[in-house]
A and B are shown apart, each in its own frame.
Chain A
């Protein structure tokens, strides 16, 4: 069963800063993903590009070396995702990044979706009717 794991702004911040109080916790989730990948499970970690902007994650910056090397893919805000995100913002009053996260949740073909976040309420709101596991950090 394929599994998508999404990171929100604080999860990215925590990942990028070793002395962040939640660094170890976010890393523990990525460690489990690595173990499951080794077992042959199809698990993919993604970060919406707008979340990267908000978090200041520049892939060309050496300060983000760890995050860059962990094979976390970009969830790009293309035209289709922008339409879904705009619809989400029409439904619920959330930020552009949260709407983009919602679009990534709703548009993925993967059977399971988990989001690692410091804002579980907004994540549930943007998920709509999509079944999403919310991990609060």
Chain B
């Protein structure tokens, strides 16, 4: 199966309204299963451990599919890939964060953070820029 077909099929399956369930042979660590049971029973995290597992798996798969689509698009259109500073600005804008009005500070924060943490993402930059802003205003 080609990668694009796989992405398309996963997306289709995620949208499926078929609620038929299946028993799986999936093996998960006992401690993880126990912690999920506790979260459901004591914290009301979901209606059941099955619901908790299914919803976490769905969220993860949706993220994987969207990132795969974006990565394919960036491969075809490298100019469409935003810089870390641009992503930090987008993160600030989505949140209505005051730093959305200070792209220069975000650019500096992105440049600083990427030196130590090459895998940093937009929210890491935003947090760092906010910490810097607080530090300098104190």
Which residues in A have some Cβ–Cβ distance to B below 8 Å?
3, 5, 18, 23-25, 27-40, 42, 66, 69-71, 114, 133, 135
Given B11, B64, B90, B96, which contacts A28 in the complex, CB threshold below 8 Å?
B90
How many Å lie between the Cα of A130 and that of B65 in the bound state? 32
Q: Size class of B's contact patch? A: 20 to 34
List, in ascending order, chain B residues with CB within 8 A of A32's CB.
87, 90-91, 94, 122-123
Contact present for B93 and A29 (CB under 8 Å):
yes
Contact status B80-A23, CB under 8 Å = yes
Residue from the list A3, A33, A37, A70 in contact with B59, Cβ < 8 A: A37
Stretch at the interface among B19-27, B30-38, B66-74, B128-136: B66-74
Q: In the complex, are the beta carbons of A34 and B70 less than 8 A apart?
A: yes
| Residues of B with C-beta under 8 A to A30 | 66, 70
Query: What's the minimum C-beta distance from A131 to chain B, rounded to whole angstroms?
Result: 9
Contact of A71 among B65, B73, B80, B87 (CB under 8 A): B65
B119 to nearest A CB, angstroms?
11
**Smallest beta-carbon distance A8→chain B, Å:** 14
Chain B residues within an 8 Å CB radius of A18: 73, 77, 80
Please tell me which one of the listed residues A24, A38, A66 contacts residue B67 in the complex, with CB atoms under 8 A apart.
A38
Q: Which residues of A contact B122 (CB under 8 A)?
A: 31-32, 35
User: With contacts defined as CB atoms under 8 Å apart, how many contacts are there between chain A and chain B in the complex?
Assistant: 88
Complex contact A69–B63 (CB within 8 A): no
The answer on a CB contact under 8 Å between A34 and B66 is yes
23 A-B residue pairs with Cβ-Cβ distance under 8 Å, sorted by A, are A5-B94, A18-B77, A18-B80, A24-B86, A25-B86, A28-B82, A28-B89, A31-B70, A31-B82, A32-B91, A32-B122, A32-B123, A34-B63, A34-B70, A40-B56, A40-B59, A66-B73, A69-B11, A69-B65, A69-B66, A70-B70, A71-B62, A133-B93
